[in-house]
Amino acid sequence: MAKLADGSEKGLKGHFEEDFSHRTRIGLAPRSGFIDRNAPYKRIATEEAWTFPALVKAQVEYLESGQAAGDDSLKMAGMFAKMPSLQAMLQDLGDLRLAHMDEFGIDRQLLLLTAPGVQVVRPGEGTALAREANDIAAEACARHPDRFSALAAFDPRDVTGSVKEIERATGTLKLNGAVLNSHFQGRYIDEEEYFPILEALEATDAALYIHPTAPFNAPHYETRGFFGALAGFPHDVWLHTMGLVFSGAFDRFPKLKLVIGHLGEGLPVHLYRFDWMQGNADGRQHLRGGAQVKLKHPVSHYFKTNIWITTSGCAWEPAIRFCIDVMGPERVLYAMDYPYQQSSDEVAAYDRMKLTPDEKKLLMQDNAERVFNLPRG
Ligand code: CA
């Protein structure tokens, strides 16, 4: 049993342990009688994972071919594929997921195609799988319009295909933004050639959620057991987010909305220092192989204008309080991180937090509805 930061002990398992079977039985007696079922806000969980068989098959096939050496993200997919009860939860978009949501007190899940997604499969296969993913997610949302919303998957290696798919998924399919599982074979969308994707996201008012994955070619993480939540995941999204800021993407696309999880992967704590040290990268020649970029604003400006954060996996009041204070109550959104960090008492912990009623409603409901253009109320 791990001792958590709030002093409680919880038997939550890490991402990589196969001990979910006790949670897979539908009809499990709710253990959460203390959840306020009449709370004056809905609970919208905004980083909830899913996948589907054709994608898992494509990931495993490419991994086993031995042709994707160094892609630890793909190796992670292979590891997840060998966890049958985790896969049962990830692949269910019906009764099992809804039963867990009811048990945990979640009104709506925002579905994100789980890391590493379509961006690690054999080059050329990703966009077709993204289309399939988005069709499946849209069907699930249509079946349960009061319970599910979803973000669009895309494969950034295919820029033209990504633009078309973001337009189709947020237009015809009415999905609510897009998800990128951070780097793709060590590439990041802060490079100029990927900017048409950012342009399409801004034009469609689709928020981009950058979700972690294992760092690329990273034995120095793996040998320490750090490729996941302990270091590799937050480090990669940190790099991606700072890369976007310093690329000038938010000056060029001022209405672009970026969402990052796990309390902004620790970034908000450093805003003071980022502004102080901005000159390390701002206005320098030849970064990212491109032209000189001089930002229009201090780094912290973009965190208060273009960036939102979610609380996935971080149900910790002092840290949430800090983020609300420095970024603003309208920029912090609730997320659970189902099924990786699911918890039947998490919602009650949020209910007990000493936030004002307005802050609580923004955190649990209103911010998600606004950022992702969800149905209101
Ligand atoms: Ca997650």
Distance of alpha carbon 372 from alpha carbon 360, whole angstroms: 18
Contact yes or no for 141/109 (Cβ under 8 A): no
Going from the Cα of 341 to the center of ligand 1, the distance in angstroms, rounded, reads 8
To the nearest whole number, what is the mean pLDDT of the chain? Answer: 92
Going from the Cα of 339 to the center of ligand 1, the distance in angstroms, rounded, reads 8
Going from the Cα of 15 to the center of ligand 1, the distance in angstroms, rounded, reads 10
Tens-place pLDDT, residues 341-368: 998 889 999 999 999 999 999 999 999 9
**DSSP-derived pairing of the beta strands 208-210 and 2-3:** unpaired
pLDDT of residue 289: 84
Going from the Cα of 190 to the center of ligand 1, the distance in angstroms, rounded, reads 22
Going from the Cα of 262 to the center of ligand 1, the distance in angstroms, rounded, reads 8
pLDDT of residue 125: 98
Going from the Cα of 111 to the center of ligand 1, the distance in angstroms, rounded, reads 10
Q: Domains in the chain and their CATH numbers?
A: 42-371 (3.20.20.140)
Spell 179-207 as b/e; 16+ CB within 10 A means b. bbbbbbeeebbbeeebbebbebbbebebb
DSSP 149: E
Going from the Cα of 162 to the center of ligand 1, the distance in angstroms, rounded, reads 22
Distance of alpha carbon 373 from alpha carbon 246, whole angstroms: 27
pLDDT higher than 80, residue 232? yes
Going from the Cα of 338 to the center of ligand 1, the distance in angstroms, rounded, reads 7
Tens-place pLDDT, residues 174-217: 999 999 999 999 999 999 999 999 999 999 999 999 999 999 99
Going from the Cα of 286 to the center of ligand 1, the distance in angstroms, rounded, reads 34
Going from the Cα of 273 to the center of ligand 1, the distance in angstroms, rounded, reads 27
Going from the Cα of 249 to the center of ligand 1, the distance in angstroms, rounded, reads 25
Q: What percent of the chain has pLDDT over 70?
A: 91
pLDDT higher than 90, residue 259? yes
pLDDT (average), residues 287-296: 92
Q: What angle do CA 313, 317, 234 make, to 5 degrees?
A: 35
Strands annotated E in 244-305: 258-260
Going from the Cα of 311 to the center of ligand 1, the distance in angstroms, rounded, reads 10
pLDDT higher than 50, residue 7? no
